[in-house]
Structures are given as C-alpha cells and as structure tokens.
Amino acid sequence: MLKTNRYREALAEGRVPVGHMVWEFGTRGISRIVESTGLDFVIFDMEHSGFGIERMFDLIAYAKACTFAPFVRVPEGKYHFLARLMDAGALGVMIGNVETPEHAKYIVDSVKYAPMGRRGVGLGGAHTDYVVPDPVKYFADSNASSVVICQIESPKGVENAEAIAAIPGVDILWVGHFDLSTSMGIPGQFQHPDFLAALKRVVDAANKHGRKLGIQPGTPEYLDQWLSMGFNVISWNVDSAIYRAALEAGVRLVRDRASRG
C-alpha cells in the first residue's frame, strides 16, 4: 500500500543516502533511467522548472514503479502544494528558504496526519493505490515514512537553524549553497570564511537535534569537503548539468579522435 521509502532504508543500513535532482527531463523514461544507477531518492523540482501539478502526478506515478523514493521540491511552502503532492504519492517534500520554526511547524502540519500534524484526509487516491486502507495503520505508517526537508538559504535561516531543527517532524536541514551564499552577499564564494561559518552553524544545529544534513555538490572537491563537515544526505547534481557534462566530454572525444586523421 505505502511505497517502501528507500531513503529511510539507506539510513537504517547505516549508509549515506544518495540522490539526484530532476528539473529538466520530466519524461516517461527518466524514472527508469535514474533507477538504473542504484540511487536512493530523486527530488523532482517544481521551484526552478516548468513542471506543473499534473506533470508531477505523472512523474510520481512513474516513480512508484521504481525502487527510489520520490521527493518533490515545491514552488512554495504552502499547504495546497505540500498536501496535494503527498496525496500524489510523494514520499517527501523539500521546501526552499525556511527561515523560522513557525514555518517549519506549518510544513510538518501540512505533511503529517494527526496527531503529529493536520494534513487533510482523502484516502483511496494515488497515495493509497486507489484503495482505502486501515486509517489508523496508514496514518502511522505515512507519518513514519514521509520526509520533511527544510532548506536553509538565508542568514535568517542560519540564525534560526537550531529552532527549525528542534521542530518534531523535520527530518533534514538542507543547505541551498548558491542561495545562501548569494543572500550573504558572497555569491558562489563557497570557501569564504563567513560561508564556512554558516555551514558549521547549520551542521551543529542539525546534530544537536538528531537531524540529517543535506546538500547538492557538483564536483568531487565539494563532495569531499561537505562530507567531511558532516553532511550525510547527498544529491549528486541536476539532470541538465550531468547531461551537458557528458555530452561535452563526448564531443571533445569525437573531435580529438577525428583530428588524428
């Protein structure tokens, strides 16, 4: 009934969950393509893409036939996005620029069923495979499985990171590194002392309250650095960047071989 959450399985096995973000190639085949790599979760991004709600229902339906956990980054941390995407069958949501514990509590309330939250009940839809489950068991299973990811992307979010992490039901503090550096007035300066201090503050806040730490590196160097700082949920880049890098490498290869005569 409730799709197995491979992200939580990875945690239970003592592994760092590894994922990927899809924001361009919302195709019928993308779920099978990314599944073939063995990743644990995929974040379908509505914030920076053209994906609408109907497209997300389709992508989540395709993902339910795969082993990875489908998460969605919503365009805004509002109930009508959060609850509807959970009803589509998403196993977790990512919310950009969470700055206060009050907002974090609102997000948890929108995702979790009572008594943990205040999510509306509409059983018998996509999230329950179109049958009505035992409600008491389903509510408990869903609350335990669903994943709430709060992105820290501003100085205010960093300042309130500990209070956000303290909210029951928040699973991951996820640093949006470009947004955070930009909001600090040091865009893209990921080795700046102020940026590194902000990362440490978020790491300390998450560790204090037993939350996981997420981030999305695009190079091996940043991966190594952020793993060493304590980040333990990793999304490896976005679909368009990976496609471009692979194609660019292939074009160089062809031109190099062709130039040899």
Closest CA to 35 of 69, 1, 71: 69
Q: What distance in Å separates the CA atoms of residue 224 and residue 213, rounded to the nearest whole number?
A: 14
* Active site (catalytic) residues: 48
Q: What distance in Å separates the CA atoms of residue 170 and residue 129, rounded to the nearest whole number?
A: 26
Contact 145, 6 (CB under 8 A): no
- Assign 93 to helix, strand or coil: strand
69 has which bridge partners? 41
Q: What distance in Å separates the CA atoms of residue 173 and residue 98, rounded to the nearest whole number?
A: 9
Q: What angle do CA 44, 109, 2 make, to 5 degrees?
A: 55
Q: In angstroms, what CA-CA distances link 138 with 1, 31, 146?
A: 9, 26, 12
Query: Which structure tokens are listed for 11?
Result: 């945690």
20 has which bridge partners? 42
